[in-house]
Structure 1
């Protein structure tokens, strides 16, 4: 059952606002991660480490039965907008997350040094790359792409129609939201109950290609793979297409 919920710290009054298409399961996910010490919300995890399980209470702010995802986001946003910002654990100002606020952003006022850039490059190079050593696969994919578009070009008429169709057109909020949710580099995901900040991080730690992870996240048969956007899991299909 869908709900907008709040996790409140009874010791200092701070709280976390979220929403879920299955709030009972989401509650279990939150507290399991807190107990393991690897919850994606660092401020709440730090307070949990200080005050313990008994200090944190889960309460349903509004319950639904059959509400769609976008409407759930909108209602969660109402609660976030009306809440007291200094008391919120939420790292984002909006219901669907995607960007840290000011000093809460770990890169606030910083840039990566050349040394860090080199290390990041090394992390994704060689054997750490999911396609490393799999030249046959890459040849096959290049061949398919080449065959698909070989000799094909848009006519001038088609180009003009495409240009006119997109001229001055703005994406709807629903379209922008779906694009944000489908961006695996910016959206955290849960796999087997563990949180990963991005597809890339999950790929490196699990040794599974991002293509495979994306496919499973968008496949309803893999219930243990789902996107998470600051408290809202985004695993409902087929509403969100493959990213």
Structure 2
């Protein structure tokens, strides 16, 4: 069963009408976002900062509402309070349970992103995202935009470590130890000025120990086991 509630400004009487399956949890979320200046409703957030938390109260308008009736009941209260009229309330959309017609500013988009960042996704959410993306091919424009965002950004130690781990999983190679130091094969090849493919062949095909493979001369592609012949 659900709840229809309102957030009322005691100074000017403006209200925000909302619905929730778990009212206490939804109230806590509202308070956290408002107190941290992250609420996605800019109108409500500005009023909260202007008048202060003490001038806002949460009130239950209808309790034990059947889930299938939540939207219609919320709509009834939005209409009754005229809360979608910015002069009387804080609801962005005149339609209950919908963001249809709402245009978000860049600041609101950033707040929405910040509010959702770090929140764990349920298995059902992951499944729906996977189904949505399955079979989709990114356009050249989309790829170019993603690259332009990443290009030029400094690599943090954490970022570099994640890239190395991804490379390890992709290539199926583990960090290698030589001369008292451990690093990936690409790093060894770069340090000693050796082509990565050449170093990998020396290790896998010729069976050389890493230290020998790093310091060996040019064998012109011949395998170690054939050098004596």
TMscore range, shorter length: 0.3 to 0.5
TM-score normalised over the length of structure 1: 0.44
- Structure 2 length normalisation: TM-score? 0.46
- Tell me which of the two structures has the higher relative contact order, counting C-alpha pairs closer than 8 angstroms and 6 or more residues apart: 1
Larger helix share, 1 or 2: 2
- Report the structure number with the largest CA radius of gyration: 2
